[in-house]
Amino acid sequence: MQFVMGLAGFEWLRETSVLFFGTNWLESLMFLVVFASVSHLGWVLTAFLSSWIFRFEATFPRPLWLKLTTLVVLASWVDCLMPQFFPASLGQPWLWSQTPVFQLAEWVGFKGLSVVTFFFNALIIYPFLVRSHRAWLKTAVVFAGVFAILCALGTWRARVWTPSDASLKTHIVQVFIEPIEILEARFGMDRGNELTLDRFFEFQKWQHSSLPDVILWSETALPVDVSSSSVHLRRFSKFVSENQIPIITGAYRKDSAGKKFNTAAHFNGRGELVATADKRILMPFGEYLPGEEIFPSLRTRFPPDS
């Protein structure tokens, strides 16, 4: 089931390998199958370790609560141990649930909250294994008590934060446009950059009488190097100065060694670059190739990504 979910949920990786790696349909399909095969091996490892630990059950019997605790510890340990292309955990659903529990991620992180998830799963399983009315009652009391404590801690944590001393009105510009790599391959670099800017300029129109304090463009929306002057960068700066509203946009930047960064660039109302912040957690298979440090030959096999 996890393998099938991996095929369905990450089919976009196959498309990414075609766009950025230049793979054919067979190579991209093999790539997706391998990814779906290894992305959930943590559960297999947890099952293997638990069966190895419990192999002496006949000689050294253990109570059920201790077995479930062992499973929680093993699952949590493997969850932290296994390498992940996409940093995710079973603690993130606490954020989506909008319960105050997610506030505790400030202390223990979402990996810590995944331990809480495993704990609650073990509580739910317990009465099904014991099969007694008393077990159901005990489980309900413990579940409600622990959940109430966590919610109380999360609520308290949220209240001690200092309220914001100001408000910021933003205008978010998110448009559909083909990746700059495709536009450059089809029309050339200059024309591709021009079409991208035209698209964003077109969609940045005010729907309200009041102007925003800052405009937010999406990741890599400005497909040029903001660290060096160019025709397209000057055109963008002129557009910003004419509107007289600061823009924070996704762009690119090169350092003194020529290394390219996916960056966020802040331009003031005069169109001047104020600051940049480089992306640190890169998207695998789109911004870096996993394993390329160990196997440098991968960079020559897939030059667009490297």
Mean pLDDT of all residues in 5-31: 80
| Helix (H/G/I), strand (E/B), else coil: 301 | helix
Q: How large a percentage of the chain has pLDDT more than 90?
A: 43
In tens, the pLDDT along 256-292 reads 888 889 999 999 999 999 999 999 888 776 677 777 7
pLDDT over 60 at 224, yes or no: yes
DSSP per-residue string spanning 209-259: SSPPSEEEE-TT-S-SBTTS--HHHHHHHHHHHHHT--EEEEEEEE-TT--
State the DSSP H helix or E strand holding residue 60, giving kind and residue range, or none if neither.
none
Q: Which of 198, 275, 213 is nearest to 245 (CA)?
A: 213
In tens, the pLDDT along 64-88 reads 888 899 999 999 999 888 877 777 7
Cα distances (angstroms) measured from residue 120 to each of 78, 147, 291 = 17, 9, 36
Q: CA 262, CA 251: separation in Å to the nearest integer?
A: 6
Range scoring the smallest mean pLDDT among 12-21, 101-110, 112-121, 263-272 = 12-21
Q: Is the model more confident about 57 or about 265?
A: 265
Q: CA 199, CA 299: separation in Å to the nearest integer?
A: 33
Q: How large a percentage of the chain has pLDDT more than 70?
A: 93
In tens, the pLDDT along 230-239 reads 999 999 999 9
Q: Please report the pLDDT score of residue 249 as a whole number.
A: 96
pLDDT over 60 at 161, yes or no: yes
Q: CA 293, CA 196: separation in Å to the nearest integer?
A: 33
State the DSSP H helix or E strand holding residue 101, giving kind and residue range, or none if neither.
none
SS3 per residue for 79-99: HHHCCCCCCCCCCCHHHHHCC
- pTM (2 d.p.): 0.69
pLDDT over 50 at 306, yes or no: no
State the DSSP H helix or E strand holding residue 147, giving kind and residue range, or none if neither.
helix 133-159
In tens, the pLDDT along 24-46 reads 888 888 888 888 888 888 888 89
In tens, the pLDDT along 181-190 reads 788 878 888 8
